[in-house]
Amino acid sequence: MPVVRIPTPLRPHTDGQDSVESTGTTVGEVLGNVGTKYPALKERIFDDAGELRRFVNVYLNNEDIRYLDDLATAVAANDEVSIIPAVAGG
Amino acid sequence: MSTAVDPIERYSRQVRFPMLGEAGQRKLMASRVTICGCGALGTVLANHLVRAGVGNIRIVDRDFIETHNLQRQILFDEQDVADNLPKAEAAARKLRLINSQVNIEAVVTDIDHTNILDLVADADLILDGTDNFETRYLINDAAVKLNKPWVFGGVIGSEGQSMTIRPGITPCIRCVVQDNPPPGMTPTCETAGVLGPAVSVVASFEAVEAIKILSGAYDALNTELFVIDIWDWTFRRLKIKNLLGKVDCPCCQQKKFEWLEGDLGSHTTTLCGRNAVQIATRRSEKLNFAEMATRLNSLADVRHNAFMLRFAAEGHEFTVFPDGRAIIKGTNDISKARTLYAQFVGN
């Protein structure tokens, strides 16, 4: 099953888990299924229209999905989808 | 007192590093860098570059030093806090003792769209020591407009990120981070904490990229988004270079410099997590601190030096800078802070 990696600031919305197994054959399905289980997470990564929020970046393994097929990017069973927010401090 | 006879000799250990060599060292010594922000990242960056002999370094910072900075801001000490020194000035004083060969300029100001071009126009490279994306977007606009490289770094908790931006060659920061997360959506160093070693790692990656750029070692540069967590011991290199031209970036593709033109961003702002507001005004004439101190003398504990005037009133601590900018502690309410400013500093 594909795994979704959850960044530290969003872990309060996944019961503290740093990764969550999901189902689906595209990045959109995989994230959507995690969002169904964890609605507060969904709200933080998707806007009302169901698009990824512009400050949220998603990577399939180590590739930015925006130069693949965005949410339609195909996901295989052993793939890893990572949500990586920008780190602002310093 | 300078002990070095041959100016290169003090750098012998890095000159022996074959990728740099004497030719690279001479390029460093002829270079000019602007470091934006002199807090946790900025002090580590400045420390590395001054010791490495980068010839001309401008350090820009808007803030003063507080005791809770000392955990990670490596150029400051308790005496600097007691002396009420601004960060840029305290850093410059320390760094001049470390390497008298380097020309160090301290600029105490808030970086905004009116001054960024002046601060970076003569620099070969801009380094990010800031703690917010508003200033980073401004740096990015200026860097793309002037076709200058810059290095991004960010840290929170035990996590950090860095990427190297060369306009037209790599994606810019707005290609990768398209929007500034709204307040409350992302943690800050004040809410989530930050570990000194995480800062050192990220700033050190920025510094080595700086040394490569300034010495001309472009082939060795990082072309990915470097992401670490020093607590979990995870290191990732996310592939981003194909984003160049793929996303319709307002900055590097459309050449719309919305931050530089002042269309976006505000500088009268709450300082997130600090229970403080910065009032940004810029006066044409410098404030006369001696006169102000006399006027405010009925208030508690009015102190001033060449760089700032500080006093307490109505349960708030005011720190006022010569250009009129002020940081008012004890509130997150911008309108209240503006009222207090008008009341005690003036309009």
Query: In which residue ranges of chain B is CATH 3.30.310 found?
Result: 269-344
Q: What pLDDT shows up at residue B156?
A: 92
Q: How far is B288 from chain A (nearest CA, A)?
A: 33
Average pLDDT over residues B330-337: 86
Per-residue confidence band for B54, with pLDDT thresholds at 50, 70 and 90 = very high
Q: Is residue B266 pLDDT above 70, yes or no?
A: no
Q: What pLDDT shows up at residue A9?
A: 83
- Give the chain B residue nearest A82 (alpha carbons): B238
Q: What pLDDT shows up at residue B284?
A: 65
Check whether domain A3-85 has CATH 3.90.1150.10, yes or no: no
Which residues on A lie below 8 Å from B132 (Cβ)? Answer: 88
Window from B75-89, B98-112, B218-232, B276-290 with minimum mean pLDDT: B276-290
Percent of chain B with pLDDT over 90: 73
Q: Do B154 and A89 touch (CB under 8 A)?
A: yes
Whether B73 and B40 have beta carbons less than 8 Å apart is answered as yes
| B242 and A CB contact within 8 Å | yes
Percent of chain B with pLDDT over 70: 93
Per-residue confidence band for B262, with pLDDT thresholds at 50, 70 and 90 = confident
d(CA B2, CA B266): 44
Q: How far is B130 from chain A (nearest CA, A)?
A: 6
More confident: B123 or B132: B123
User: Please, which residues 194-213 of chain B have a Cβ atom closer than 8 Å to chain A?
Assistant: 194, 199, 202
Coil vs helix vs strand at B229: strand
Cβ count within 10 A of residue B149: 23
The domain spans of chain A are 3-85
Q: What pLDDT shows up at residue B138?
A: 96
Tell how far CA B134 is from the center of its chain.
12
- Number of residues that make up chain A: 90
Average pLDDT over residues B209-216: 98
Low-confidence ranges of chain A (pLDDT < 70): none
Whether B224 and B163 have beta carbons less than 8 Å apart is answered as yes
Q: Is residue B256 pLDDT above 80, yes or no?
A: yes
pLDDT in tens, B67-108: 999 999 999 999 999 999 999 999 999 999 999 999 999 999
Q: Do B176 and A57 touch (CB under 8 A)?
A: yes
Q: How far is B7 from chain A (nearest CA, A)?
A: 33
Number of CB pairs, chain A paired with chain B, less than 8 A apart: 92
Whether B311 and B303 have beta carbons less than 8 Å apart is answered as yes
d(CA A22, CA B314): 55
Q: What pLDDT shows up at residue B271?
A: 74
| Helices (H), ranges, chain B | 12-15, 21-29, 40-52, 78-82, 87-98, 116-120, 133-146, 173-176, 189-192, 196-215, 289-295, 334-344
Whether A30 and A80 have beta carbons less than 8 Å apart is answered as no
More confident: B35 or B280: B35
pLDDT in tens, B143-162: 999 999 999 999 999 999 99
Q: Do A89 and B247 touch (CB under 8 A)?
A: no
Structure tokens at B28: 């460093």
d(CA B114, CA B183): 24
- Rounded mean pLDDT of chain B? 91
Q: Phi and psi at residue B116, in whole multiples of 5°?
A: -60, -40
How is domain B269-344 classified at the CATH fold level? Answer: TATA-Binding Protein (3.30.310)
Q: Is residue B183 pLDDT above 60, yes or no?
A: no
Q: How far is A44 from chain B (nearest CA, A)?
A: 8
Find, among A12, A66, A17, the residue nearest to A3 by Cα: A17
Provide CATH code, domain B9-243.
3.40.50.720
Structure tokens at B202: 């990220």
d(CA B12, CA B275): 47
pLDDT in tens, B5-46: 688 999 999 999 999 999 999 999 999 999 999 999 999 999
Q: What pLDDT shows up at residue B46?
A: 98
Testing the interface with B: which of A17, A64, A66, A73 to mutate, by most B Cβ within 10 A? A64
Q: Do B188 and A89 touch (CB under 8 A)?
A: yes
Query: In which residue ranges of chain B is CATH 3.40.50.720 found?
Result: 9-243
Q: Do B181 and A59 touch (CB under 8 A)?
A: no
Of A44, A84, A90, the CB nearest to B227: A84
